[in-house]
């Protein structure tokens, strides 16, 4: 079974998807982390993240794998470095390249073959797994999402984070390929005023009630 979750940055997708996977004994797969990994790798190698050809060349050279739900670049666990301000700043531009998106889509589908998975990102329900048995769309106000990001990253400025999130939303919604949108049949959950446990319960209950 494929459980796919989409939604804007900071809506709780990663945290809740990981919890749901743990409760159901499914494999957790974060599609957005692949784009972040390609962005991080480019930055680490001194490549301008806006230089699409060089970013693609680097992406085709490195090896991304998933171990215990964490993204590894050439065998090294880099999960803890995927949400730095620099990666946040450039990830949307990197992910807007159709060639990069195709690399990610191919990798994710290959990993998912024969597995029960919970996966999340921006276009998992619309492009990567349009036939997923369970689809969800998480949402929350930009202000709530900015506050969450500041809490997770002490020392960051709320107003700057809010501005960055709103800019990211605009780019994600207006992408020519893989735009953020609600898939037909997806259950929409506003996480703004819900706890992580409450959202997790809603998702698990919906999955368990899905016909075989």
Instruction: Quote the CA–CA distance of 132 and 89 in Å, as a whole number.
Output: 30
pLDDT in tens, 143-157: 999 999 898 888 889
Instruction: Quote the CA–CA distance of 157 and 146 in Å, as a whole number.
Output: 9
Contacts of 14-20 with CB under 8 Å at 24 or more apart are 14/120, 15/196, 16/138, 16/191, 16/196, 16/199, 16/200, 16/203, 17/118, 17/119, 17/120, 18/69, 18/118, 19/196, 19/200, 20/118, 20/200, 20/203, 20/204, 20/207
CA atoms 116, 118, 121, 126: torsion sign: positive
Alpha-carbon distance values, 135 to 36, 47, 71, 211 (Å) = 23, 36, 23, 14
Coil, helix or strand for 175? coil
pLDDT-derived band at 212, boundaries 50, 70, 90: low
Residue of 51, 174, 30, 40 whose CA lies nearest to 104: 30
Residues contacting residue 165 through CB under 8 Å, at least 6 positions apart: 8, 9, 10, 142, 145, 146, 149
pLDDT in tens, 163-202: 999 998 998 888 777 788 999 999 999 999 999 999 999 9
Domains of the chain are 2-207 (3.40.50.300)
Residue of 193, 145, 135, 142 whose CA lies nearest to 6: 135
pLDDT in tens, 111-120: 888 889 999 9
Bridge partners, residue 133, by sequence? none
Bridge partners, residue 27, by sequence? 117
Is 0.95 topped by the overall pTM? no
């Amino acid at each position: 079974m494929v459980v796919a979750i989409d939604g804007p940055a900071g809506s709780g997708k990663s945290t809740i998807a990981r919890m749901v996977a743990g409760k159901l004994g499914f494999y957790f797969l974060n599609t957005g982390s692949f784009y972040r990994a390609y962005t991080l790798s480019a930055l680490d190698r001194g490549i301008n993240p806006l230089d699409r050809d060089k970013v693609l060349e680097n992406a085709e050279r490195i090896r991304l794998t998933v171990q215990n739900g964490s993204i590894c670049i050439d065998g090294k666990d880099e999960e803890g470095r995927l949400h730095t301000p620099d990666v946040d700043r450039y990830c949307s531009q990197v992910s807007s390249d159709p060639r990069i998106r195709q690399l990610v889509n191919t990798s994710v589908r290959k990993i998912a073959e024969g597995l029960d998975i919970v996966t999340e990102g921006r276009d998992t329900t619309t492009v990567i797994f349009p036939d997923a048995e369970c689809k969800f769309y998480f949402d929350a106000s930009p202000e709530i999402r900015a506050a969450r990001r500041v809490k997770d990253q002490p020392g960051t400025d709320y107003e700057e984070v809010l501005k960055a999130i709103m800019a990211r939303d605009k780019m994600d919604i207006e992408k020519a390929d893989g735009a953020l949108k609600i898939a037909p049949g997806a259950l929409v959950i506003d996480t703004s005023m819900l706890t992580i446990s409450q959202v997790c319960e809603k998702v698990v209950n919906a999955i368990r009630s899905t016909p075989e």
